[in-house]
Amino acid sequence: MEQLTQEFIERHCRDRRSGYPVVFDKNYGLDVVVPNHPEYKVEPPSRYVATIHISTFRGVSMGAVHYYGRIEATAPEITCIGSRGQKCVCGGYICEEWKNMSAEEKKFVGDRYEIELIRPLTQNEIDEEPDRWYGYNAGDSTNGFYSKEEIFSLAKKIVEYRFPGWEIELDDWCD
Percent of the chain with pLDDT over 70: 93
Residue 58's φ and ψ, nearest 5 degrees, are: -60, 135
- For the chain, the structural domain boundaries read 6-172
- 23 alpha carbon, distance to own chain's centre: 12
- What does the pLDDT read at residue 61? 52
Lowest mean pLDDT across 26-35, 66-75, 159-168:
26-35
What strands, in cross-sheet order, belong to the sheet with 77-81? 41-43, 77-81, 87-90
Q: Supply the mean pLDDT for the chain.
A: 88
Q: How far, in Å, CA of 97 to CA of 82, rounded?
A: 19
Stronger pLDDT, 85 or 24, i.e. the higher one: 24
pLDDT in tens, 110-168: 788 999 999 999 999 999 988 888 999 999 999 999 899 999 999 999 999 999 999 99
pLDDT in tens, 84-122: 888 888 888 888 998 898 888 787 887 889 999 999 999
DSSP label of 92: S
Q: Is 149 left (phi over 0), alpha (psi -120 to 50) or beta?
A: alpha
- What does the pLDDT read at residue 17? 83
Residues 70-79: what's their mean pLDDT?
Answer: 94
Reported as half-sphere exposure (CB side, CA atoms, 13 A), residue 97 has a value of 9
